[in-house]
Chain A
Amino acid sequence: MIDLADISKSYLMGQHSVHALSDVSLNIGQGEFVAIQGSSGSGKSTLLNILGILDTPDSGAYTLDGHVIENLSTSDAARYRNRFIGFVFQSFNLIHHKSALENVALPLYYQKVARKKRSRIAMEYLDRVGLADRADHKPAELSGGQSQRVAIARALITEPALLLADEPTGALDTQTSEQIMQIFRDVNDQGMTVVLVTHEPDIAAQARRSIVLRDGDIVSDLLNGSSLL
């Protein structure tokens, strides 16, 4: 499903080159639920950006669902993101002047799905996250948990191969976090591959597999409590 081979990425910070990732190799199978842990600066965000085709590695190979992700034009990268990847962010990243329904439908707009059809499908996904009655509300009128559920509906509407979540519970209280994690578990149970980045061990513990990054290296990779390394 996901195959990363010897991925390296460094950034220039003033005069110094900082290694965000060094020779990371990683294999994630179809239907896995993986948490990537690490402190700030461990390279986990870089890894997520590369997985999400928002960033390109300096070296190494990335294969997603059988497609080699290499030398894509920005337009092609956008199309791949649209077709294969659903994003969930810490700060929800809903478009504030659009209603919940319009936010959820937006990825289908970029697939040129007709407006009526988009709205119908978006309504189904809003219903799945239990927010059908909030369809016409603007993000400002939604609670944090509700906003994140709208964002998840938006990420799922294209039926992506991979759901990427960047600190999805970082802005939420414990109880709401629990609800959000439950949704991730549910979609994973239905076969969706989920990768989430977090620095909270108790959130990571709810995934089936937990990877820890430190200074651009994978330092542990555990499945159901047993080590893979």
Chain B
Amino acid sequence: MIDPLIEVADSLRTHKVRTALAVLTVAWGIFMLVLLLGAGRGIQNGVELQFKDDAVNSIRIYQGKTTIAYNGLPRGRSISYNNEDYRQVRAKVGHVDKLTARYYVGDNLVSYGGQQAAFDIRGVHPDHLYLEKTVITAGRYINELDLLERRKVCVIGVQVVARLFEEGEEDGPVGKLLEVGGTVCQVVGVFTDVGSRREEEAVYLPVTTAQLLFGGSDRLHQLMYTVGEASYQESKDSEQQVRTLLANIHNFSPEDERAARIYNNLDEYKKITDLFYWVRVIVAVVGVGTVLTGILAVSNIMVISVSERRREIGIRKAIGATPGSITRLIVLESVILTTVAGYIGLLASLGLLELLKATVPENEYMYQPDVNTFVVVAVTVLVIVSGTLAGYLPARRAAVIDPVEALQPT
């Protein structure tokens, strides 16, 4: 085993420049391949980070109309929700973490002192805070006691504050009394929203208060909940449970996707992960192409090497080298060349990825670029297989060299 390796080392040492060039092409190919794969993973991690931070793994349930006749009931029936639905979802659906309903009062006049303007009034549960990514800047959010006692309290967006309150108003808005749709409510908190400016023009009331004040009885317009740390599959299961539950309560077909319109944010997330899967596939194809270019370069170099060494091969054959031993020598040379080069490229790219990981701070464009063990194993197989292929044709050419011809005095 050692002898052929010494032969190869000897031959590679003899042609230093050629060897260096071949190593460079393959190393570069592998370097780019691994780097691209790692960067692809990094971009994906960045997007995932963004998702985790921003849109919680939420499922939103809107009202709809039936599109399938069911249990003797016609199509086109409107489905609307009430407090009982909220309680049932809380009690019976799996993976429900934060749960809130919405009662849309709609635009209504809100006035304070001499100022008045129309704002979007919504009745919500305390968990609404998490679902909307609401940030309280003063006071507090709606709480359970507010709901229980149907308190006339409200939480207002910073845009509402800007419109109704004089700048430098004493003590700020918290504790002040507003007139909301004709009823006096006490401001308990002010919020900002990372979403749109429009979201900051909202006025939140306890859902029970909103139902009481605006004639809603026990009606709800929308349900929203998060699934916490549940996996994609678990969240799909939870979504299915909600649909079945609501279908039971409201007597519509569980197959009827328009009766209760359910949006799972993880579907969007899944779309993006799927997209990144394809990005990685494309990166892999491009990267493998680059590697193949390197392999072709090696093959080319081996062809040149063989023709330069015609005489040497002729001599070897004259003194007893079998065609097989010549083939093995050339193939081994090619494999060693690509493997060494491949690992140089691999180590360089892994080193660079580690460096990026250590130095680039957490951000949503590129986060923790990395490749897994599979990539390392695949690269190893790739360089060995392609080294063999690159060497094989030149090796066959070498093996059939006629010693009589090769040894003709030049």
Contacts and interface: CB of A to CB of B under 8 A. Distances in A.
* Contact-size category for B: 20 to 34
B315 A95 contact: yes
B316 interface: yes
A69 to B, nearest CB: 15
B320 interface: yes
Given A79-B322, A93-B315, A107-B319, 18 more contacts: A54-B403, A54-B404, A74-B322, A75-B323, A75-B324, A78-B317, A79-B320, A81-B319, A87-B318, A90-B409, A91-B409, A93-B407, A96-B312, A97-B14, A110-B316, A110-B319, A110-B322, A115-B2
Given A49-B404, A89-B407, A107 B320 contact: yes
Contacts of A95: 312, 315-316
B292 to A, nearest CB: 31
B194 interface: no
A49 B318 CA distance: 10
B409 A78 contact: no
B14 A93 contact: no
Nearest to A166: B407
B8 to A, nearest CB: 12
B3 interface: yes
B171 interface: no
5 contacts: A82-B319, A87-B319, A93-B318, A106-B319, A115-B3
Interface string A59-89: 0000000000000001100110111000101
A52 B10 CA distance: 28
A154 B320 CA distance: 12
B323 A74 contact: yes
B410 to A, nearest CB: 8
Contact of B322 (A49, A75, A90, A94): A75
Contacts of A109: 3, 7
Nearest to B323: A74
B360 interface: no
Given A95-B312, A97-B10, A115-B2, A78 B320 contact: yes
Contacts of B11: 97
A89 B2 CA distance: 30
A27 B354 CA distance: 75
Interface string A136-168: 000000000000000000100010000000000
Interface in A23-67: 49, 52, 54-55
Contact of A93 (B2, B311, B321, B404): B311
B300 interface: no
A166 B6 CA distance: 31
Nearest to B325: A110
Residue from B2, B10, B318, B409 with most neighbouring chain A CB atoms (10 Å): B318
Nearest to A83: B320
A174 interface: no
A220 interface: no
Nearest to B4: A109
A171 to B, nearest CB: 9
A106 B318 contact: no
Interface string B1-45: 011001100110110000000000000000000000000000000
Nearest to A118: B3
Contact of B404 (A55, A82, A94, A111): A55
Interface string A94-129: 111110000000110111000100000000000000
Nearest to B318: A87
A55 B318 CA distance: 11
A91 to B, nearest CB: 5
A95 B11 CA distance: 11
Interface in B284-340: 311-312, 314-325
Contacts of B409: 90-91
Contact of B321 (A90, A94, A110): A110
A109 B320 CA distance: 9
Contacts of B325: 110
Contacts of B320: 78-79, 81-83, 107, 110-111, 158
B87 to A, nearest CB: 85
Nearest to B13: A97
